[in-house]
Amino acid sequence: MNDTEPYTPGAASDAKIEKDGDEWTLVLVRDLAHPPARVWKALTEPDQLREWAPFDADKSLAAVGTVNLTTVRAPRQLVTEAQVKRADAEKTLEFNWGGQHLRWELEPHGDGTRLRLWHNIDRHWIAMGAAGWQVCFDVLARFLAGRPIGRMVGPDVMKLDGWERLVGEYAKQLGVELPKWTGPKA
């Protein structure tokens, strides 16, 4: 994290859950003040993913095929062979990551982009997942605006002032129980 600009997560943004049997999918929407071409590069190019995403990629995600995704600042490093299933430039990106399916859709919205994320995630961690993606989206927005603050993931994110509040807000909004975790406290 860059010390030049302090960061505290804001209030929980709109999120919802889609359920299909035992599978739960977190759905988040974020409006970004940048065109789809710029957002697409941030979602797919390894040098830009390193600025905001919770994983590193060994190559671009902009083409269907295999890519290695490595967790960042996790208690133990995990390299996952992921499959990019769909890569429609500036529109849709779908891939698996550690057994979870992620789908990103980009839509022109005014002068910017409406970004939608569908992430199937264990129901016990859905509030924490929503909070984590919100932090990633905040960092992404600042990076795109030319004010990078560095990604905040793993134990670092759990040290943020406001992290537990944000997880609690998402748990309430989504109607789920708070996750049980033993992580660093701020």
Question: pLDDT averaged over consecutive 10-residue blocks of the chain (186 residues)?
Answer: 70 92 94 97 98 96 96 79 97 93 97 97 92 95 95 84 92 86 48
Return the CATH number at 98: 3.30.530.20
Q: What is the pTM of this model?
A: 0.90
Structurally, the chain folds into a number of domains equal to 1
Q: What pLDDT sits at residue 78?
A: 81
Position 180 in a domain: no
Q: What pLDDT sits at residue 184?
A: 47
Position 73 in a domain: yes
Position 110 in a domain: yes
Position 42 in a domain: yes
Q: What pLDDT sits at residue 2?
A: 47
For residue 137, give every residue at least 6 positions away whose Cβ sits within 8 Å of its Cβ, in sequence order, or none.
28, 30, 115
Domain span holding position 91: 15-174
- Where b means 16+ CB within 10 Å and e means fewer, 164-177 reads bebbebbbebbebe
Q: What pLDDT sits at residue 5?
A: 66
Position 6 in a domain: no
Question: Among candidates 88, 81, 123, 116, which has minimal Cα distance to 102?
Answer: 116
Q: What pLDDT sits at residue 18?
A: 95
